[in-house]
Amino acid sequence: RMEEEQKIYNEQGVEAYVKYQLDHENEPFLPGAAFPFVKALEAVNTQLRELYPDSEELFDIVLMTNNHAQVGVRLINSINHYDLFIERFCMTGGNSPICYLKAYHTNLYLSSDAEKVSGAIEEGIAAATIFSPSKDLEVSENQLRVAFDGDAVLFSDESEQIVKAHGLDKFFEHEKAHENKPLAQGPLKGFLEALGKLQKKFYSKGLRMECPIRTYLVTARSAASSGARALKTLRSWGLETDEALFLAGAPKGPLLKKIRPHIFFDDQMFHVEGAKELGTVAAHVPYGIAQKHTRPPQEKQTPNSK
């Protein structure tokens, strides 16, 4: 069905595409790559409402699309079909939704359109291009699991610049010498901060071990030679991840298959590809020096894919 819609949009244009959507508005859209992630957010919200009935500190999900308002009925029908709790839509009628992100106080913008994600990053919004995995991997329905790469995702790309310019040996020397100097923040530091804020609401109820949000640092850094600076940086921010995996250059895909996160963020397409080949929903963060060497594959997208 998605291929059919893509073909109509590419070959017949916007009007034919909108007519197709109107003709099929009682047929729900198929779930996309972010569907399990959104379901997990809603599961956390359910538990937060039980613990804090009067609190409005919840995950706030906004459906943003450059689709036309006429397609809204099909989107609403799809939301209801899957029992999702998404009340806010932003349908921009062909224009980019990026200009609305700050007005929504966006902590994270996900899209399958790499160009729009890059635009969001340039505006200072945490954003990533999300990819469907090559195979289905069952994920938790009760606990949200989010995995982050370190450099150029949670942290700046300062260290990656040194690797590119001077090699690994100089990188190890630099990290050792600057172990107690926190790294600058990367584009997704604010999203980890938002997750941590909600985690603490469960901790304050004595539910640290039963917390429905779990975070992971999954980095190619070596624990012995460059891991301390990453952990000390998080500590200096008043943040932490529940688990830290230092892989010393080993592939990330097999470890992610064990973790089974709802989403994994990395700035290098090599790691994104390796993750999704083994069933992990992976998202590319187009930030830092690595983007000068690799770019994510880009196809023409239908409005429905935003």
Residue 300 has pLDDT above 50, yes or no: no
pLDDT of residue 235: 96
Residue 296 has pLDDT above 70, yes or no: no
Q: What is the mean pLDDT of residues 111-125?
A: 94
pLDDT of residue 144: 98
pLDDT of residue 48: 97
Q: Convert the pLDDT of each residue in 120-132 to its tens digit.
A: 999 999 999 999 9
Between 66 and 150, where is the model more confident? Answer: 150
pLDDT of residue 132: 93
CA distance 186 to 49: 31
Burial grade of 54 (CB within 10 A; 0-12, 13-18, 19 or more): exposed
Residue 98 has pLDDT above 70, yes or no: yes
Mean pLDDT of the chain: 90
CA distance 126 to 287: 10
Between 159 and 241, where is the model more confident? Answer: 241
Give the residue from 18, 143, 25, 132 showing the smallest Cα distance to 75: 25
pLDDT of residue 40: 97
Domains of the chain as residue ranges with CATH:
3-131 (no CATH), 144-289 (3.40.50.1000)
Q: What is the mean pLDDT of residues 131-157?
A: 94
Q: What are phi and psi of 187, to 5 degrees?
A: -65, -25
Between 112 and 163, where is the model more confident? Answer: 112
Q: Convert the pLDDT of each residue in 66-96 to its tens digit.
A: 888 888 899 999 999 999 999 999 999 888 8
Q: Convert the pLDDT of each residue in 248-272 to its tens digit.
A: 989 999 999 999 999 999 999 999 9
Q: What is the mean pLDDT of residues 191-216?
A: 96
Residue 29 has pLDDT above 50, yes or no: yes
Helix/strand/coil (H/E/C) assignment for every residue in the chain:
CHHHHHHHHHHHCHHHHHHHHHHCCCCCCCCCCCHHHHHHHHHHHHHHHHHCCCCCCCCCCEEEECCCHHHHHHHHHHHHHCCCCCCEEEECCCCCHHHHCCCCCCCCEEECCHHHHHHHHHCCCCEEEEECCCCCCCCCCCCEEEEECCECCCECCHHHHHHHHHCHHHHHHHHHHCCCCCCCECCCHHHHHHHHHHHHHHHCCCCCCCCCEEEEEEECCCHHHHHHHHHHHHHHCCCCCCEEEECCCCCCHHHHHHHCCCEEEECCHHHHHHHHHCCCCEEECCCCHHHHCCCCCCCCCCHHHC
Residue 109 has pLDDT above 80, yes or no: yes
Q: Which of 27-36, 113-122, 133-142, 296-305 has the lowest mean pLDDT?
A: 296-305
Q: Which residues are known catalytic residues?
A: 149
